[in-house]
Structure 1
């Protein structure tokens, strides 16, 4: 039998330090903003030069802790800073749309933490505003920009897997129930799908494109948000994505792409720098690729920042690897899944 996976393509952008340097401003400096800032300063020439919060003390403390030059006690002050080239929106996701639109109105390029918004209509507003203003806007789905993802992107484009028929992904952890926490409070965009499931749905979209049909089954937390969800996404050609996410138990955080000529299984976690195991059609393990670049965990967020800097330098206003329309489609899938299981907060807005 001829081996399909004899050699692998090389990632095309393995060094984020090669990207043109931009000056970044961070809105809502919390834990993920801290990891993002540290990743940029450690592994690239990108620099966070300003932090903005509704609390001047919080912004100042963040700036002092992470080597950031300036801090502001309002979001409006940060987006008005003429020395900020791009704004990173790191707030909880119910504020993503508001803060992204604020930055876009100020003429700033913007990177918006995933999910890009809570509702599809909010994501569409962001896309329309960015296009009208002529600024770059991108969802921070950082998995799309990892070296391992670029290997898979090239193999999919070359048809190496053959006809892709099944895609899988899971992401879950055990969270202590707290009705006031962002994970369980519907007013804070709580639920597994928006927080964790977005990675799995995005993986399916990467491999198969937008689904033609969505089947969801799940359970709700006492607050009414989705606590555990299983999804079947059907493609127009009959391929399927089998996805799961939840807040009740830890899951392996693995993903696969299975085709007629062979399959790939990720190491854990699939959404961060890890590894890839390539199997021939008969199940034989052919290659185990392990990430060699030394940017584990959230340090891998540097790749999305470097990609954005390259796109801005090229004069683009949308990511060719993860366009705004795809981020909108992912939210539409999540919204439909939430509607099917009766998650609180969907209501009339789901039609938007």
Structure 2
């Protein structure tokens, strides 16, 4: 490969749900700042019709032909695929990752990576034994916004010493009205707000309260509570406390309330100011504003850093995955295996204190 040539990643897309459609739509959209070339090599679903419909809708106006399959196994066995993107529900992640790994495929698997930390270790052990690349698709961590914000907080210290982060994710599902067949009521699929959306405000807290690298992070103390409807967790509140600094994170999530007009998805407080992160929900940030310390009756003037673009933001994790694979890496330096396990351990502890139990916990 020439020094100026971009690496190419040929993707096999597993499942045709909403998250897969977002991922593919971002990758096929033209852009000038690409760090890699992405080809949607194949689509795999439970039926050929679903794959065809998905490809017709989301893989358009591209200079290549996408293969459609009516099974996952055909994706795993396709020799033209460089990396499998796993977009299935949480409860299937371990199964689908292990199948792809067994076929010798590199894998980018959606968050939450698995149901619990034990499953995550099992997947990474298999990847190590097979010698393939596996990473958790926590797209929030790959955004340039996060690297810039962490630099401002801990190198430039624009708000002094950080002492608290708050973040809340709200989504209206009305669990009580859903049929028993809904994935949102299936515990074996990881039902509940914590794994589905709570991981995002949790990530905001982790990334803004701990200045360490992913391999040199402090494990916070955790205090958590959960509430349930029809046996499904619908609201989680947790406090993260970092003993070495005294920093605290207040993380809340619920599927019982529709988000209001407020566009502040996270707030970071410091001794000399504060930062407000703006966006639709914690998974979709678009900007943040740095404010000086609030000393008057009126809100102080802030400096806004805008990161809005046409794509939703999946391009960053896709680019980094392509670069990792091209470089021969087996882990993502942004989301290494140990960090995915650590986050799963935190959520395991939240569920232990809150009372959420999945069938896989006792497997």
TM-score under structure 1 normalisation? Answer: 0.87
The question of whether the paired residues in 2 share the 8 Å contact of 1:24 and 1:85 is answered with: yes
Match for residue 181 of structure 2?
A: 180
Change (3 A) 1:99 1:210: farther
Map 1:96-135; keep pairs closer than 5 Å.
96-135=93-132
Residue 139 in structure 1 maps to residue 155 in structure 2: no
**Aligned alpha-carbon RMSD (Å):** 2.1
**Range with bigger deviation, 282-291 or 235-244:** 282-291
Alpha-carbon shift at residue 312 of structure 1 (Å): 1.7
Match for residue 51 of structure 2?
A: 59
Match for residue 194 of structure 1?
A: 195
The question of whether the paired residues in 2 share the 8 Å contact of 1:146 and 1:272 is answered with: no
Alpha-carbon shift at residue 190 of structure 1 (Å): 0.5
Match for residue 10 of structure 1?
A: none
CA displacement 1:52-103 (0-9 Å, x = unmatched): 1232222232233333611122212111111100000011110011111111
Change (3 A) 1:228 1:61: same
Match for residue 291 of structure 2?
A: 279
**Range with bigger deviation, 231-240 or 79-88:** 231-240
Map 1:1-352; keep pairs closer than 5 Å.
20-43=7-30, 45-67=37-59, 69-158=66-155, 160=157, 161-177=159-175, 178=178, 179-207=180-208, 208=210, 209-222=217-230, 224-237=231-244, 238-251=246-259, 252=262, 254-268=265-279, 269-282=281-294, 284-295=300-311, 299-345=312-358, 348-349=361-362
The question of whether the paired residues in 2 share the 8 Å contact of 1:273 and 1:300 is answered with: no
* Matches of 1:129 and 1:155, distance apart in 2: 38
* Matches of 1:347 and 1:113, distance apart in 2: 18
Match for residue 6 of structure 1?
A: none
The question of whether the paired residues in 2 share the 8 Å contact of 1:19 and 1:309 is answered with: no
* Matches of 2:321 and 2:361, distance apart in 1: 34
Q: Tell me the secondary structure at the aligned position of residue 320 of structure 1.
A: coil
Q: How many residues align?
A: 329
Alpha-carbon shift at residue 159 of structure 1 (Å): 5.0
Alpha-carbon shift at residue 347 of structure 1 (Å): 8.2
* Unmatched segments (≥5 aa) in structure 2: 60-64, 211-216
CA displacement 1:278-319 (0-9 Å, x = unmatched): 012346333111224333xxx211111011112222222211
* Unmatched segments (≥5 aa) in structure 1: 1-17
